[in-house]
Amino acid sequence: MHKHLAVRSRARARGGRERHQRHLSDAAAALRRAQAAGPAAELAAEELRAAARALGRLTGAIDTEAVLDSVFAEFCIGK
């Protein structure tokens, strides 16, 4: 029985590491795009926001825009 729990725990840890790696990769890619945007401040700012969102998903931070998107997607407001 303990062996089964250990296997599940390792699988969950591996899944967490893969998720963390994906978020770090997303953040790094967004930072590279921001750097490549050059003088286009609007493009760079959007990529920096994308990097911040990816890091927020990694750390568990709550993104206000994501909460609002979820609220408006889930609930019919004003009808």
28-52 pLDDT, tens digit per residue, is: 999 999 999 988 899 999 999 999 9
Confidence check: pLDDT of 1 > 70: no
- Mean pLDDT score, 52-74: 79
Q: Which domain holds residue 39?
A: 2-74
For residue 58, the tally of other CB atoms under 10 A from its CB is 16
22, part of any domain = yes
Confidence check: pLDDT of 7 > 70: no
Closest CA to 43 of 32, 57, 53: 32
The total domain count for the chain is 1
28, part of any domain = yes
The predicted structure's pLDDT at residue 76:
60
